[in-house]
Amino acid sequence: MKYKDLFIDLDDTLYDTYGNAVIALSETFEDYRLDRYFADPQVFYNAYWAANIDLWGRYSRGEITRDYLIVERFRRPLSTGVGLDITAAFCIEMSDCFLDHCASKSGVQPGAYELMDYLKRRGYRMHMTSNGFHEVQYKKLASCGLRSYFDTIILSEDAGANKPSLAFFDYALRQSGAEVATTLMIGDNLQTDIFGAMRAGLDTLLYNRWNVTADEMFLRDGLERADSSPTYVVESLAEILNIL
């Protein structure tokens, strides 16, 4: 067996973060009766997702703080409404409500349980590697029942650095006791999971759930074409059973 240790991303790799968040965002919209300020709820939803994508990208690069992200990802969509008094305290309150809804959801990616059962039987040591917030990630793990599969939980807040930084992966290797030569990183995010792990010298497996094109796998952030492709690319979690 080539690999002994697997670094596995949680959000949108195993846990259906996007699908669960869509439901949670609708619930939050209803909780705060935002229909009073938005004639079309889709305006709010679209603005939220645009802000969320931008802010998480900046957070992973260390450009903004967690506190800024929490406030700003709701301040921006709320500012597209009419008649709202938008304060930082209100945004934080709404964020807490939203995250509670998110963390209570049990939805996972198709084939997640089957994959984890298979990997456990095969004897791999598995380590969750995530940029997600500490308390929220543990609640998600409890809700979906995936906690028992992992030998180690490695979070950016504990590491003091986010994926894709080398500092995060150095911390992950120390905490897990894994070795570079026998560790595989599995994730859905080309930037944080795959390119970050490649810089740390790890083999990588991209779960291509976002339909990343071949061109996007090359010439990114100074990586040379010869070494910028993931070791493996799959379109479904079930395909991983044929690799590991």
- Res. 237: pLDDT tops 80: yes
pLDDT of residue 53: 93
DSSP-derived 3-state class of residue 155: strand
Confidence at 23, pLDDT banded by 50, 70, 90: very high
As a whole number, mean pLDDT of residues 174-181 equals 98
Helix, strand, coil distribution of the chain in percent, nearest 5? 55, 10, 35
Question: Looking at the predicted structure, is the pLDDT value of residue 219 above 80?
Answer: no
Same fold? 5-16+106-242, 17-103: no
> Which pLDDT score, from 0 to 100, does residue 226 have?
43
Answer yes or no: are the C-beta atoms of 199 and 164 closer than 8 Å.
yes
**1 confidence band (pLDDT: 50, 70, 90):** confident
pLDDT at 227: 55
- Residue 209 has what pLDDT? 92
Query: For the residues of 11-65, what is the DSSP string, one character each?
Result: BTTTB-HHHHHHHHHHHHHHHTTGGGT-SSHHHHHHHHHHHHHHHHHHHHTTSS-
Backbone angles phi, psi at 193, to 5 degrees: -80, -55
> The domain at 5-16+106-242 falls in which architecture?
3-Layer(aba) Sandwich (3.40)
pLDDT at 193 over 80: yes
The CATH topology of domain 17-103 is DNA polymerase; domain 1 (1.10.150)
Strand order in the sheet with 125-130: 152-155, 125-130, 5-8, 183-187, 203-207, 232-234
The residue ranges of every structural domain in the chain are: 5-16+106-242, 17-103
Is the CB of residue 4 less than 8 Å from the CB of residue 184? no
> Is the pTM of the predicted complex or chain greater than 0.85?
yes
What pLDDT does 224 receive? Answer: 47
**How much is the pLDDT for 228?**
67
* Average pLDDT of the residues in 106-135: 96
pLDDT value, residue 225: 47
Q: Which two tokens stand for residue 127?
A: 């380590």
Q: Given the structure tokens 């298979």, which residue do they identify?
A: 118
For position 229, what pLDDT does the model report?
A: 85
Specify whether the CB–CB gap between 59 and 66 falls below 8 A. Answer: yes
Euclidean distance between the first and final Cα of the chain, in Å? 8
